[in-house]
Structure 1
């Protein structure tokens, strides 16, 4: 028959086992976008500049929930340098304000720049996009805003355009090097020119029909 001490030990072990299983389950969920960003951001400072740039771009592309940032950044007040106001179709009194802050210089030369981005009226917290320099941090912030607005489930409007046309085009970056990026850019240019010619031909044909024979 087990003594009270042994029973207590087994109970503590049982609770420990449950905590371990819970931790393993949490670890399994650590592949979410936010956790990937936290894990990736912690490694950026140890990478060479080229790899840091690709990693920052990948973080921005994968994340729709936020970016990792050090505690000293979270406590720091930021200066808003750009504002854009969005509406929501069917909700005339609702407004979503995109605010992009001034990039924050890293505390160490090997650290990443961070750019505050806040979707006031949609998200409760300020997010911080990362980059190897101030320009890329701003690019990452705009990419984050695009993904967040696309995935919010609301018909976002801007300047009377159709819902979803929010004026934040995604940049073309090639994860396989400059040659691939140039190829993507050429494909976009060629397709834009082709569709432009089609639209011009349709407009010309409509004008001809309107004039009559």
Structure 2
């Protein structure tokens, strides 16, 4: 990752999850480090198993990078590309499902917009059936090269949908 106009290199390291030696419950931890933002960050995220510890480490990394989001780039893209926001689950399955449904509607809408723009020009080579996420991928793969470098380029902003 790179920070700001001076292109300072920001490095994020994630350790392999391991059993938490301080836990008597069999919990796990996942260490991570961030350098290049001034003071180095070295922390752990904890979970009931290795997968949850890793997922929570990714969440904590995103939170640590959030204040720099407008100045961070990763392979020409934004913070969301490197560390996407996770759907919160701690407030219950019903809220998580509503958020996931809202995301799915937005992705389907975006896929339709991309397909509508590419089809008349004959640039939509294939249409992948299945969840709308695959439709977006197929549409972007069929898009001209300049669109592939900047996802969503040339596509109008997606409307916010209230759940």
**What band does the TM-score fall into relative to the shorter chain?**
0.5 to 0.7
CA RMSD after TM alignment:
2.3
- Which aligned pairs between 1:23-172 and structure 2 lie closer than 5 A? 86-92=1-7, 94-107=8-21, 108-110=23-25, 112-122=27-37, 123-152=39-68, 155-161=71-77, 163-172=78-87
1:156, distance to aligned residue in structure 2 (A):
0.7
- Change over 3 Å in CA distance of 1:137–1:153 after alignment to 2: same
1:116, distance to aligned residue in structure 2 (A):
0.7
Listed one character per residue, the Cα deviations across residues 37-64 of structure 1 (whole Å, up to 9, x for unaligned) are xxxxxxxxxxxxxxxxxxxxxxxxxxxx
Given that residues 88 and 154 in structure 1 are in contact (C-alpha distance below 8 angstroms), is that contact kept between their aligned partners in structure 2?
no
Q: Could you tell me which runs of 5 or more consecutive residues in structure 1 were left unpaired when the two chains were aligned.
A: 1-85, 209-213
Q: TM-score, normalised by structure 1?
A: 0.50
- 1:126 alignment partner, SS class: strand
Name which one, 1 or 2, has greater alpha-carbon Rg.
1
- Change over 3 Å in CA distance of 1:154–1:195 after alignment to 2: closer
Q: Distance in 2 between matches of 1:120 and 1:97?
A: 5
Q: Which runs of 4+ in 1 moved over 6 A?
A: none
Residue matched to 2:114: 199
- 2:82 alignment partner, SS class: coil
Q: TM-score, normalised by structure 2?
A: 0.63
Q: Could you tell me which runs of 5 or more consecutive residues in structure 2 were left unpaired when the two chains were aligned.
A: 123-163
Q: Distance in 1 between matches of 2:2 and 2:53?
A: 26
